[in-house]
Amino acid sequence: MAETLPRKFGKCLVVKHLGKGATAVVLLARHAGLSIPVAVKVLRRALSESNPKYAARFLREARMAARLDHPNIVRVIDCGVQDDYHFMVMDYVDGPNCLQKLQEQDNGLDWREATEIIMQASQGLGYAASKDVIHRDVKPSNIMIDSTGRVRVTDLGLAKMTIKGVVELTQEFHTVGTPSYMSPEQIRSASNLDLRSDVYSLGATFYHLVCGHAPFAGDGPMEVVAKHLTDTLVPPRQCKRSLPEELSSIICKMMAKSPGDRYQDYETLRQDLQNLLDGREVSASGFYEAVEVSGPDEEELRGILAELTLQGDLEPEDSPAVRAAAGAAKEDDDGTDTAALDPFGPEDYASFNSPDGEEAETAEMPTPRSGRGEPSVALVVTLAVLGALVLLAAVLFFVLSSS
């Protein structure tokens, strides 16, 4: 049975569903006090009830993310508990994420557009690093672009506040991340991570944007993880000859297996990206990592995978709590694509035009776009036309019978 969510979360009046997954539901809402659209991320009750640490971590990291205020970061505005549901309120981004853009362009984005995206994302990540925050799950779906073209890095709630810029992992929580973009040291569940791990993930994202596919592929997460640890990266220019050699060198340097061979700070990376766009020489020129690295055997790989939290969940995918929440997500599936959020289109702005204190009519419950929810406009129109035809036929029959 589908979860019945509250109509309000703090000062936020729910308008509709945007997306959902095993751990959380994301809603579009109107902030009553600010009169702006916001995104509300709601932790599934199955998680918070099965293990209070989920809820505690969720709120703790929301408060941490709220300390970050930068044009290239999706802000966390508020967080709290509503009817036993833990939630955080975030900026709403009225545009697609990079994964959605890739789905529209199979062969990748124009390299100049991709470079601009990565440059802006690096500004947001650089600011976070200056505040001792490492993202740990940089990937295309966590980089959004609003209607003005501004890039916004999201899901910093998965990050962890650090001491002197180094992530210190404990046994309480596992490494978060997505296999296709994780750095080798993060895959190995290193006891500390710094900004260079995010640089690697941003490089893997850059590779995906310009080539149209992730840097390493495999039949399963174990094979992908193994390639990140051991395989030599195929330079982007070998995948796509139209790419500049300097761009290929920048990505190879970002994705060097040894953190010491990567960019050591975001300022140097941004300077190279700007030089690339301006047609000037880059500091990474000619960089190519040609030597394969000896990696773990299959048993060690399985051990590494057992410690990973895949797809950015709060626990391993096979944990009882996540399985229960995933079951709940499947039960209330309405056909909505949970991998990406809907853009906030012009038709939705009408929901926010109500006078102060007046509730939006569409905010009774989070409504799905289609499926087993309310009938679609096309269906309503069709039924109306059929009804009119039946009525006309009845009138004609009555007139003919009378004559």
Distance between CA atoms of residues 59 and 93, nearest Å: 21
> What are the backbone angles phi and psi of residue 98, rounded to the nearest 5°?
-70, -30
In this structure, the number of other CB atoms found within 10 A of the CB of residue 24 comes to 24
**Is 238's pLDDT higher than 60?**
yes
Same domain, 201 and 130: yes
Same domain, 26 and 52: yes
Beta-strand relationship, 308-309 and 175-176: parallel
Please state the separation of Cα 349 from the chain's center in Å.
23
> How confident is the model over 118-137, as a mean pLDDT?
94
Q: Mean pLDDT over all residues of the chain? A: 78
Decide: 354 and 3 in contact? Cβ < 8 Å. no
Same domain, 262 and 132: yes
> How confident is the model over 65-74, as a mean pLDDT?
93
Same domain, 256 and 122: yes
CATH code at 169?
1.10.510.10
**Bridge partners of residue 42, in order along the sequence:** 25, 87
Instruction: Quote helix, strand, coil % in the chain, to nearest 5.
Output: 45, 15, 40
Q: Tell me how many domains the chain contains.
A: 3
Domain enclosing residue 37, as ranges = 8-92+330-363
Distance between CA atoms of residues 334 and 17, nearest Å: 10
Same domain, 42 and 116: no
Q: Give the pLDDT score at 218.
A: 87
Q: Hunting for tokens 């809603």 — which residue is that?
A: 27
Decide: 134 and 194 in contact? Cβ < 8 Å. yes
Distances (CA, A) of 15 to 152, 253, 369: 23, 45, 12
Query: Which 3 state secondary structure label does DSSP give 166?
Result: strand
Query: Is 321 part of a structural domain of the chain?
Result: no
Query: Is 3 part of a structural domain of the chain?
Result: no
End-of-domain residue from the set 276, 295, 314 = 295
Q: Give the pLDDT score at 145.
A: 96
372 exposed, middle or buried (CB, 10 Å; 0-12, 13-18, 19+)? exposed
Distance between CA atoms of residues 256 and 249, nearest Å: 10
Same domain, 51 and 175: no
**Is 279's pLDDT higher than 80?**
yes
Decide: 300 and 308 in contact? Cβ < 8 Å. no
pLDDT category, 367, cuts 50, 70, 90?
Answer: very low
Please state the separation of Cα 333 from the chain's center in Å.
19
Most distant CA pair in the chain: distance in Å?
Answer: 96
End-of-domain residue from the set 268, 295, 322 = 295
Q: Give the pLDDT score at 6.
A: 93
Q: Give the pLDDT score at 374.
A: 41
End-of-domain residue from the set 295, 311, 343 = 295
- 356: annotated active-site residue: no
Query: Is 399 part of a structural domain of the chain?
Result: yes
Q: What percent of the chain has pLDDT over 90?
A: 48
Same domain, 29 and 138: no
Same domain, 223 and 107: yes
CATH code at 81?
3.30.200.20
Same domain, 397 and 250: no
Query: Which 3 state secondary structure label does DSSP give 149?
Result: coil
Query: Is 310 part of a structural domain of the chain?
Result: no
State the catalytic residue, choosing from 78, 91, 137, 313: 137
Decide: 97 and 117 in contact? Cβ < 8 Å. no
- Give the pLDDT confidence of 368-381 residue by residue, as tens digits: 333 334 444 455 55
Same domain, 61 and 108: no
- Give the pLDDT confidence of 331-362 residue by residue, as tens digits: 554 443 333 333 333 333 333 333 333 333 33
pLDDT category, 288, cuts 50, 70, 90?
Answer: confident
Query: Is 319 part of a structural domain of the chain?
Result: no
Distance between CA atoms of residues 168 and 161, nearest Å: 9
- Give the pLDDT confidence of 185-232 residue by residue, as tens digits: 988 876 678 999 999 999 999 999 999 999 999 888 888 988 999 899
Distance between CA atoms of residues 372 and 396, nearest Å: 37
Query: Is 88 part of a structural domain of the chain?
Result: yes
Query: Which 3 state secondary structure label does DSSP give 5?
Result: coil
Same domain, 84 and 154: no
pLDDT category, 170, cuts 50, 70, 90?
Answer: very low
Distance between CA atoms of residues 96 and 342, nearest Å: 7
Query: Is 308 part of a structural domain of the chain?
Result: no
**Is 126's pLDDT higher than 80?**
yes
Same domain, 250 and 356: no
Query: Is 64 part of a structural domain of the chain?
Result: yes
Decide: 86 and 43 in contact? Cβ < 8 Å. yes
